[in-house]
Amino acid sequence: MPTSCLKGCNSYAAIIIVLANLSLYTPLFSRSPPLSVGFSSTITPPLFRYDAQMEFERQGVVTDGAEDGHLSKWVPMSINRDYAMCSSYPRTLYMPRCLDSGSIKASAAYRSKGRLPVLAWYNKRKGNAIVRCAQPKAGLRSRRSDGDEVVIEACLKASNNADQIIIFDARSQVAAGGNKLMGKGTEAAAAYHNAKIVFMEIANIHAVRASYDALRELISFGNEVKWLSSLEATGWLRHIRSVLSGAIVVARKMERMAVTCVVHCSDGWDRTAELTSLAQFMLDPHYRTLDGFIILVEKEWLSFGHKFHDRQLSAEHPHERSPIFCQFLDCVWQIINQLPTAVEFNQQLLIRLADHSQSGWFGTFLFNTERQRRKFRLDNTSTSLWSHIRACRAELMNPTYDASKHTGLITPISSMKKLALWTDYYLRFDGMLNGGCHVASSQPPPAAGATTDILGKLAFRRGPNAAAAEEECLNHYISCDWPVVISYSPVTPHRIHTLPTHASTLSALPCNPYRCVRPGAIFHSMHSLCTVTLTHAHLLDTSWYTQLHTEPHSPSTTTLCRTG
């Protein structure tokens, strides 16, 4: 960490707050988990496991040496090799063979963030494709782009069914129209040959964040008697339904009508990723295997620039926070729950992805784009989550998987009557379900201008077996080499103790089902039961902050002070 970050810090508490936001100063704010906790030194696959050429060749995009002499209408293009055209796209883009660089650049200039239409998945059996992009810069005057129209028509001609191309806009028509005020908007169907526009009515990141926060509050402090009505009031399952329904529509159009589908939302990295990846999961049996699902996440979420840092890891821009990737994993769980023999892996894989996309323990989900990950050489300077997945492969497999019964499209039911809350994830630390010890979620984010990033809390239900339950919970929840200090509020006998540092299995890494703890983070509860401070042992000399003081007249205010 640069020493300039500590200038102006005239107290130990101020230094700790800087360390709590360490991700603002350096990308590698955590060290890799030691090999002794579930890794073998011989199992170290590279971080960037996804290889675009190998994956698209598997799909049937053969650019040279085809056995039948016919080359694919889709080819890899290196026009973005230095990320100059679109910094959030991968270096290699697959596009129709007939396109020239002028049309491609014109289309990129017309699309938000330069995210022009490119191939996401090719259906060899039907000869059609899923294409992804961002919204056009149409504006109030419905501005058009000849280059963009050429690109969309080329995508149509690259399909065996050239009668129609469907453009799926993940937003509502009203929301898309509202974007025209900002110089963007949606396509005019008349401007694109044989095109049909379909609006999917999926909520934006702000609505999803509000729903998720409401769910978090319900899980933490909800009324047991009014649980079902309160769950409905959060709207979480309605959002799951809208995303799942949209993906089912895309998958069915691809399979039954054999049309090419263009999918976009506003900037093409949130709802677009959900729709394209879920549709591919339903269409392609390979993505329903463990290895295939890893490829799907690498391709649709990592290489195409879902903003993992902004959505899950950063406290810089609270308005950017939104659990979009968690929502996607929830949708996959709904499919597994309904079709248990269709997927090779079990929900434990989804839980680990949900946890470690936020934990900071692995380099896999750091930063927002492929360009940034390559710049900081994360394949050489951090451990890949896929190493852990491979080491724990046996416990992530589904024993009821039967590939012979699900060789093509699978279609789950998106009715609210069929959807369920993912309790094994959201309620896994619930005190009433797990022996009397409750690990609750975080409080809502601090108000604007606040200096502390509230990440979570540990709240223990008091009872005859409280001590044993507390110890069991902490051993499970904080199984790493962090010094941990706990101070209870004045309503209980005041005591401070430090858990011994230790390492356990990687499956017991510190996980919060709502926002995982990051190494180097201050973990404040602002709650009357207890306040917990976590920090990574290797970052600091821990001897001078091993005690936590509670202000006598403000039970929810905590300070760190030197003890020696």
Catalytic residues: 265
CA dist., res. 172 & res. 339, Å (int): 30
Tell me the H-state helices in 253-323.
271-283, 290-297, 308
Share in percent of the chain as helix, strand, coil (round to 5): 40, 10, 50
CA distance readout (Å), 180 to 69, 176, 184, 195, 487: 46, 7, 5, 20, 53
CA dist., res. 320 & res. 549, Å (int): 33
Amino acid identity of 59? Q
Give the sign of the dihedral formed by CA 348, CA 376, CA 271, CA 236: positive
CA dist., res. 540 & res. 19, Å (int): 10
Is 384:364 a contact under the CB 8 Å cutoff? Answer: yes
Is 492:520 a contact under the CB 8 Å cutoff? Answer: no
Residue whose entry in the numeric block shows the structure tokens 């077996």:
465
φ, ψ for residue 273 (rounded to 5)? Answer: -60, -40
DSSP 451: S
What's the first-to-final CA gap in the chain, in angstroms? 25
Is 196:257 a contact under the CB 8 Å cutoff? Answer: no
CA distance readout (Å), 284 to 223, 277, 296: 42, 10, 10
Q: How far is CA 426 from the centre of its chain?
A: 16
Q: What angle separates helix 290-297 from helix 347-359, to the nearest 10 degrees? A: 30
